[in-house]
Structure 1
């Protein structure tokens, strides 16, 4: 067989850069290749369009980092420059204007130059260390052991490697380009600032690329994979506080980091980040040309020296003699086998112990993140106050536990990797095995809140009975929330994961990470509020959402290993939860627009708001189901109309009795209930409350929510869950009778298998309650 002809250095660099860029684009935009038309009739193909989400996320993150860099410049100018007109007495808007004028008028002061040099140096270290902390350090994929098989000379290969890592460092581009753009803008470059920032960023990334290649190549040659994983975990811990150190400069309360900026040595302006800053701050053309030449010279010298050292490193070859894993002793396995739990849970612990990077990411990184925020914000001295603020204590406890779940339980499917198919061969359902993993991670995550509460109680002053009661309530909320969010994390991880992806970065879709974070922050509201009704609403909604997401994940499990299939569209509890949440938001907005004044709401206002919300949600759901051709959409009539009406009337009687008893009990304690508005026509109120509202609400809460939940729960449990969700989207004063109505309407729907019976139950109940109120 003829040997391949050698490839030129420029051609090799171009090919490697194109290959790497293509892989990055695929990671960000492509999920799986869709099946060809006509090849798959039974199941729908997986949807595309991830590039839209990736583009939106990239733009938002770039804007956020640019704004952060601008705030850092403003804070450093106000805090470090002695002759600034910016002071504490200047308002925020005037502060921005004063700093902008000062930075544009004259070159940076020596103190500001030192502070910005520190910022660029820290960001440059982030651009160097974060890629080093990736899984590539301990894996043979995309390293020189296979690149040297290409028909390229060693010197050209090394230059191509450095160039490829220069332009394909997304972390470096994300943190350095906004910082240099903000700096160039304030030095007077204005609309040429983005181009100047590109040159400055590429100069810094090129030097980071050659240092990264030197480090990881040397480490691969010197260490076995097991030690590389340990080192990779250590690098990931070191790199994260650097980013929070920079962020603290933008918040304005980082007294510790501002002190470091004041003491930053002046000689660092001749380091690569310092030279870049001097060029960006050059105010005349001769100075700009001279400093640009200095920046280019420094970059060229670092690259030349790095390539020379790389060639020396690789003089004996690129395959390390110690690259194979060594045998492991059975001592640890025997110890793990004696732990409580199922065999699958013990296996999860064993895998966690072997993967140092995953171990650190799951159990250490959350502590590092919280600790970095407290330390660099200068609040460490006020840590003793933690025990006095129970809401803050509970939010930190829950935040730490939920962050552990995000980095662990969320990855349940991904940790299986290419061996996921083996779980399908076990004598048990994959759903049950995932539930065991969720219980394990929920238990591990509870350790962190327990430690936070113990620490807070150690610093807390003497607690009276009232404080103990509130603290116990918040501890209970966290104890409920962590297991529920373990279930949510595993369920979202099923949707968010692509276990067949060869690249670790492609195995998680960031959209679901943001969704999980949003849900966790919403649960934090229950920890801060003292209103029992609001706490109950949040807890019930989160539990219902966990059940719905778990059902959706269960439907998705049979299609995980199929590269081109997805579960067919079918009504599920997630649809009901989404409709219920939308109903809650729309009715709140409608009521806010209808209600005038601070007095108690009128019954007509509540009825109209609920009817508007029901109509909006009903129309949206019907449109979506029609467009997607969804199966299992609830029907209004099943069987005879007379039978449905009779069932509805009979089921309404217990609900009416519960509602009337509740009204008597409430009035006995002097609580005023909403009454019909005298200016509002009573027939119109009856039409809204007894026709429109029952029709729309029963479609949402019985047809979608109860109908979806009963696919996963026994009928009684599904009735209770749907009734609880139905109750919490109503005003707090009516939660108890509405819960009874939800049970009766769900029973009517279960008996008749059509919405008409539930609608009649709801309508008769509303008519009786309005009549009693009138």
Structure 2
């Protein structure tokens, strides 16, 4: 019996089914992206519940975006009209100032006091408005207004409502309104063309368009091609709301109902045209670009869409301040906006003329797009075995030769030269995000001309942000090939460290440009800018080392796995402290940021190095043995922050009259709580109190303990010698600290500050006794347990030798007032060396107690 054959699918049914598949594919991709961003870790079911309601809500949000874009173009035209007026020597001001001027002119001479008050209020408000729109301090604008009034009273002023009649007078308003309006309209078109099925700046996944595999199915090839061309409309809600743009744009000129008709008759064809044109470009480029260039081209299209969208939102806020830079472009005709809204030369409007122009644009875009994609399909997929890109050979001499001769650095150089998408991932995307942050910090531009530290601080923050963005982007661009480095002789760790150095050089180029400008602008402060540059060299390397720990194994689809939020947060530690210290001119805060960033980098690398061999087998990874550097830093931070909080609460309850007793009691309480919690935490991980209080060299697990280790464990006669050494060292360092204090008191500013502090303390009863109790009884035990017993021990495993001693001492010093950093730092060095020498933490405690007793009580 013959099997009945089903009738072939019709053209439109095929298109409808494939568009439905494209929509479901977009929903699934959206869920996956939300999961990767840790926004919906355990709420996947809620996404399914929303279904089409979520799509409708997103479409409404996109419709609001397009309505806002229409109003932005109208605002750009108004800004152009205002610039045209001011080009002729007039000053455009708000209604309040013009009314105040008119009212003052109408008052008799005996009532000029009231006029003066109105003018003062008008000056202040108008100066603030102009400062927001044009930039610069409000005082400068107020001075401009006062000078104009003094020279010509109200003759130089034009009311803003008179100067900006709106888009209805576009044809007769001059060249600048047409230029700005056409420019923003072009940005809207670029944004729409480059959207595709969704902006994907850096998601590393292989693309399998439906036309690549469905041509072999028993359906109509034109239907498949049509569905692929229209797929962005089904997948991306921004296209569903796009007709609203032309509805509002035409509605602001012709009225509400003509605007609705324009949204349907003009908005829908142009939406289809922009979507199909962008998709056709993608098809043709994927077919005709080489494998090494496809990712770069697609990434570049996505980048253009993102930049156009951000410029469309940001430019209107800056047009008044940067409008003067556009005047040279006005020699070129800019009739595009006028043509598309039906504006005539005599100032009238024709809806039919505008509609015909828009239809012609839509037809031209669709024709060009389809023609380009058909040309690509007819030519076929470009061969992967074509011409080989020749890589320039690195010269055998010079710094570049030494940089390129190292296999790890040469790999990065070849990656830049061969893989065009590297430029998108490593340069364009971080630079664009950096530009967005520059726009967010544009308020600093008002302060930058008056102080060098604003420019230097902004350079540091932006450079650190560049590293924070660059690291994950560069790691993601490696894709699944990153695991190959696990088989190399120098390993994945060396590869990642080489990447960190390369990122640091890229970020330093950005910072160097800004710091160079600051040094040229403020030559008398050039040495301070140089110190900031030196600080960046130290700080930037730690930021690069931290950002490299954000590597994660890509999934089977090539997408990066989500990172724990705690790791991302830890990467930013010290970043803003250093930058804010420079911005505020407080060097001690900047130094604290550098130290904290390096300590965090060491802690993150200690954990990262332990799990790096299991990067592609996370279920088998092993944590480093406790106590780790991260454990020590968390405990130290908890002590500092916790004592500050409970001391503030206690003082608010008992009053400042008992400040000394309260501070001592709260410090003792906080130190006890933190120490008990830390001891229990370590005991649960098989680290007893003796393992912290005694220094034991690592030995093989099956090796018998030597006599020296037995001696350490049993606490025999060497303890007395250790205590004696601590006493002697404490006395010596205490005497040095007193001499250091006497020396710095010869500096007038320091002496005045110390005198003021002593006068304040003298008003608090028994303050010296309570501070002495805290410094002798509580602080040495808690701080030696944390800084030497935990921090120095962990640093010795990570850095080893003198760097561990220096690192723990510097971190110990920055937790104290800046004037005491030198003697306290020496105390930290001596305690670490004594602990290592005597193998007993009690020696460091005794030295610390003796030092504090001499400094505080004597």
**TM-score over 0.5 for the alignment?**
yes
The aligned counterpart of 1:223 is 289
The aligned counterpart of 1:737 is 823
The aligned counterpart of 1:144 is 211
Q: 1:11 to 1:315 in 2, by over 3 A?
A: same
1:448-459 equivalence runs, <5 A: 448-454=510-516, 457=519, 459=520
Of 791, 794, 814 in structure 2, the residue corresponding to residue 728 of structure 1 is: 814
The aligned counterpart of 1:287 is none
**What displacement does 1:367 show?**
5.9
For the 8 Å contact 2:651–2:662, the answer to whether it is kept is: yes
**What displacement does 1:121 show?**
6.2
The aligned counterpart of 1:651 is 726
1:478 equivalent to 2:536? Answer: yes
The aligned counterpart of 2:796 is 710
For the 8 Å contact 1:78–1:86, the answer to whether it is kept is: no
1:577 equivalent to 2:633? Answer: yes
Mapped to 1, the partners of 2:509 and 2:434 lie a distance apart of 15
**What displacement does 1:717 show?**
2.2
* Structure having greater relative contact order (Cα 8 Å, sep ≥ 6): 1
What is the root-mean-square deviation in Å for CA atoms of aligned residues?
A: 6.3
Q: 1:656-696 CA deviation, whole Å, 9 max, x = no partner?
A: 43133212331354343766876248776555444444444
Q: 1:90 to 1:22 in 2, by over 3 A?
A: farther
**What displacement does 1:489 show?**
2.3
1:424 equivalent to 2:486? Answer: yes
The aligned counterpart of 2:739 is 664
For the 8 Å contact 2:205–2:558, the answer to whether it is kept is: no
Mapped to 1, the partners of 2:856 and 2:673 lie a distance apart of 24
The aligned counterpart of 2:51 is none
1:126 equivalent to 2:191? Answer: yes
**What displacement does 1:725 show?**
0.7
Mapped to 1, the partners of 2:322 and 2:786 lie a distance apart of 53
**What displacement does 1:636 show?**
5.9
Mapped to 1, the partners of 2:518 and 2:772 lie a distance apart of 54
1:560 equivalent to 2:615? Answer: yes
**What displacement does 1:528 show?**
2.9
1:592-631 equivalence runs, <5 A: 607=664, 611=668, 614=671, 625=681
Q: 1:32-65 CA deviation, whole Å, 9 max, x = no partner?
A: 9xxxxxxxxxxxxxx966999x9xxxx9xx99x9
For the 8 Å contact 2:280–2:372, the answer to whether it is kept is: no
Mapped to 1, the partners of 2:335 and 2:192 lie a distance apart of 23
1:495-574 equivalence runs, <5 A: 497-500=552-555, 502-504=557-559, 516=571, 519-562=574-617, 564-568=619-623, 570-574=626-630
Larger-gyration structure (1/2): 2
For the 8 Å contact 2:571–2:600, the answer to whether it is kept is: no
Per the alignment, in what secondary structure is the counterpart of residue 630 of structure 2? helix
1:20 equivalent to 2:26? Answer: yes
**What displacement does 1:641 show?**
6.8
Mapped to 2, the partners of 1:611 and 1:254 lie a distance apart of 59
1:489 equivalent to 2:544? Answer: no
Consecutive unaligned residues in structure 2, runs of 5 or more: 48-57, 83-92, 98-121, 130-159, 171-176, 253-262, 343-350, 695-712, 746-750
TM-score, normalised relative to structure 1: 0.69
1:108-119 equivalence runs, <5 A: 110=168
The aligned counterpart of 2:232 is 165
**What displacement does 1:728 show?**
0.3
Mapped to 1, the partners of 2:236 and 2:396 lie a distance apart of 40
733-742 vs 410-419, which moves further: 410-419
Q: 1:657 to 1:445 in 2, by over 3 A?
A: same
**What displacement does 1:333 show?**
4.6
1:433 equivalent to 2:495? Answer: yes
Q: 1:410-445 CA deviation, whole Å, 9 max, x = no partner?
A: 455434322222212222343233223333443454
1:327 equivalent to 2:398? Answer: no
Q: 1:545 to 1:511 in 2, by over 3 A?
A: closer
Q: 1:750 to 1:213 in 2, by over 3 A?
A: same
Per the alignment, in what secondary structure is the counterpart of residue 730 of structure 1? coil
For the 8 Å contact 2:389–2:418, the answer to whether it is kept is: no
What is the aligned residue count? 705
The aligned counterpart of 1:349 is 413
**What displacement does 1:456 show?**
5.1
